[in-house]
């Protein structure tokens, strides 16, 4: 039935993945619009349960994956390439980084670059610290870097590395389900694999929709500051609609013409804004603060990475750390595939070093310039940033820029940067969702990519109307859990494949169990694996 529907609509998809994902997204929108309060309350209750009972799991899982990736980079597997042994990177380091950053957390840094440090400075996360003190300033920067540094990029790097390895080294389809081929064998291309891909598609849709919602809030604040545009739900829906149309145009152009050029242009604009704040702001204070913040971050990282608020009865970690981890995890399928697409030819060591440390270094610079400047503005009493951030975090960067000359010009530049980050996030996600929902031997149809861009906009608008920022946080914290579990299975599958690769075995031998002699002890399992291996040669990348 689904295949007949696909033919009637003229689509090129895997019907089980495409229609299940599209149907689930449509069902959410249809139910959330008339029952917005019930939906918001339900996700609020679910988020509370996840935070109370599984918050520790989020913390431990992400930290464990960071240790795993660093271990791979320095191990004997670090020289294995994402591709043939003689392959080389498709993009230069600079182009690779700009595309990586624009599709990753550019929108998030624009939203939280001022808001988070100021918030923690005024309301320290650690109970024995005096608000707006020197220790509060140090802790604010440390926590902000913890949230946007190595841990965030670990969540992106894990699927990116695994997807790149299996796609370029073993010619498997560039889908999340392919990562489980060493475990599932040919069952990867049936309902089990489809279920994995549906989870990845829905996680991506809601993760990007959350970012679009935050971006709409911030854009509305910026346009209210520049032109007096009222900050209301209908205006934010209108902004989402406009940006979705821009993203649809970009996604129709494809990766090289659309996303690549927008990413390069936007990183230049972001650097101009950084340079402006550095030049007119407290330059010496920023330089000294960045050095100290880097030291504080790496000093606190070992204990902060395992901190679960065990001895405190507060809601702080649910509102901040768990929300960030779940949000980032929901982005992991799309950002991981996007990173894999632009990382062919790099060694595992190059990949891990580049994806973990280059963006973390840029995050340090970003928070050093914006965060430290904002803290000093608050300390000097120039602007009551803390109160404005408490009332509406989306206005933070525009209120902050009021402390400097050419505030209107800088705010207008910020609006442009937000719009482009908004666009690159949406069109990158649309390209990746299209990859997840079709076979490699099927063409990528423009109307399918546009459909997914529109779906992200619809979900973002629905979430905003259903409860604004609280709804965005609650939905994503709940939905990030299934993919967090998948991330751990990815690490297991990747390690098994790397061990076999290093020993000179191919993927078919890995599936049948011969890459690891100890597996052959189970005769029943071996019989099944032999059956799978007989059929494994039928596999093609477009399967």
Rounded-to-integer distance, Cα 241 and Cα 232, Å: 14
For 419, half-sphere exposure in the C-beta direction (CA atoms, 13 angstrom radius) is 19
Given CA atoms 151, 328, 466, 388 in this order, what sign does their dihedral have?
A: positive
Measured CA angle at 329 (ends 355, 150), to 5 deg: 35
Confidence of residue 166 (pLDDT cuts 50, 70, 90): very high
User: How would DSSP label each residue in 172-219?
Assistant: --SSGGGGGHHHHGGGGGSHHHHHHHHHHHHHHHHHHHHHHHHHHHHH
Give whole-number Cα distances, 389 to 27, 45, 488, in Å.
Answer: 34, 26, 36
Alpha helices in 385-445 (DSSP H): 385-391, 396-401, 407-436
Q: Determine the average pLDDT of the residues in 66-94.
A: 91
Q: How many CB atoms lie within 10 A of CB 540?
A: 12
Q: Determine the average pLDDT of the residues in 26-30.
A: 88
* pLDDT at residue number 369: 95
Least-confidence region, from 98-112, 201-215, 370-384, 473-487: 98-112
* pLDDT at residue number 152: 92
Does the structure show a pLDDT above 60 at 538? Answer: no
Three-class SS of residue 383? coil
Rounded-to-integer distance, Cα 235 and Cα 249, Å: 22
Q: Which range, 346-355, 415-424, 500-509, 513-522, is most confident?
A: 346-355
* pLDDT at residue number 517: 40
- Of 365, 186, 387, the C-alpha closest to 291 is 365
Least-confidence region, from 52-56, 71-75, 348-352: 52-56
Domain 2-502, CATH among 3.30.300.10, 1.20.1740.10, 3.60.130.10, 2.70.180.20: 1.20.1740.10
* pLDDT at residue number 170: 87
- Of 144 and 542, the one with more pLDDT: 144
Burial of 527 (0-12, 13-18, 19+ CB in 10 A): exposed
Tell me, what DSSP letter sits at residue 260? I
């Amino acid at each position: 039935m689904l295949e007949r529907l696909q033919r009637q609509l003229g689509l090129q998809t895997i019907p089980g993945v495409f229609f299940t994902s599209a149907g689930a997204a449509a069902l959410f929108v249809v139910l959330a619009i008339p029952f917005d309060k019930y939906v918001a309350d339900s996700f609020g209750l679910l988020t509370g349960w996840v935070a109370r009972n599984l918050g520790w799991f989020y913390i431990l899982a992400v930290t464990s994956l960071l240790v795993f990736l660093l271990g791979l980079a320095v191990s004997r597997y670090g020289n294995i390439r994402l591709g043939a042994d003689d392959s080389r990177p498709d993009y230069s380091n600079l182009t690779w980084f700009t595309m990586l950053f624009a599709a990753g957390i550019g929108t998030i840094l624009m939203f939280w670059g001022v808001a988070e440090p100021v918030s923690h400075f005024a309301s320290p996360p650690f109970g024995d610290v005096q608000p707006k003190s020197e220790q509060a300033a140090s802790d604010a920067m440390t926590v902000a870097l913890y949230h946007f540094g190595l841990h965030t990029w670990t969540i992106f790097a894990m699927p990116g590395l695994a997807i790149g390895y299996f796609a370029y080294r073993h010619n498997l389809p560039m889908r999340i389900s392919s990562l489980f081929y060493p475990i599932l064998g040919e069952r990867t291309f049936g309902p089990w694999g489809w279920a994995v891909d549906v989870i990845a598609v829905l996680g991506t849709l809601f993760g990007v929709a959350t970012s679009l919602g935050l971006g709409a809030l911030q854009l509305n604040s910026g346009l209210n500051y520049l032109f007096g545009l009222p900050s209301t739900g209908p205006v934010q829906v209108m902004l989402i609609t406009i940006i979705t149309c821009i993203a649809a145009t970009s996604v129709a152009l494809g990766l090289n013409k659309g996303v690549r050029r927008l990413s390069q242009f936007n990183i230049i604009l972001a650097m101009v804004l950084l340079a402006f704040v550095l030049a007119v702001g407290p330059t010496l204070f920023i330089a000294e603060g960045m050095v100290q913040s880097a030291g504080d971050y790496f000093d606190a990282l070992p204990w902060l990475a395992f901190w679960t608020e065990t001895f405190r009865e507060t809601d702080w970690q649910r509102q901040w750390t768990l929300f960030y981890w779940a949000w980032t995890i929901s982005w992991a399928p799309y950002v991981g595939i996007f990173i894999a697409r632009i990382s062919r030819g790099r060694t595992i060591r190059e990949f891990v070093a580049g994806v973990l440390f280059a963006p973390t270094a840029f995050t340090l610079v970003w928070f050093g310039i914006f965060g430290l400047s904002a803290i000093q503005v608050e300390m000097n009493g120039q602007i009551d940033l803390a109160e404005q951030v408490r009332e509406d975090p989306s206005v933070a960067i525009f209120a902050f820029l009021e402390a400097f000359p050419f505030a209107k010009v800088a705010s207008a530049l910020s609006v442009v940067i937000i719009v482009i980050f908004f666009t690159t996030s949406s069109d990158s996600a649309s390209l990746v969702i299209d990859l997840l929902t079709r076979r490699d031997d099927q063409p990528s149809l423009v109307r399918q990519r546009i459909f997914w861009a529109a779906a992200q906009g619809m979900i973002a608008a629905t979430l905003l109307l259903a409860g604004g920022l609280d709804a965005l946080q609650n939905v994503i914290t709940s939905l990030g859990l299934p993919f967090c579990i998948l991330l751990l299975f990815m690490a297991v599958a990747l390690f098994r494949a790397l061990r076999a690769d290093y020993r000179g075995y191919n993927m078919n031998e890995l599936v049948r169990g011969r890459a690891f002699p100890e597996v052959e002890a189970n005769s029943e399992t071996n019989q099944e694996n032999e059956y799978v291996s007989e059929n494994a040669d039928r596999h093609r990348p477009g399967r």
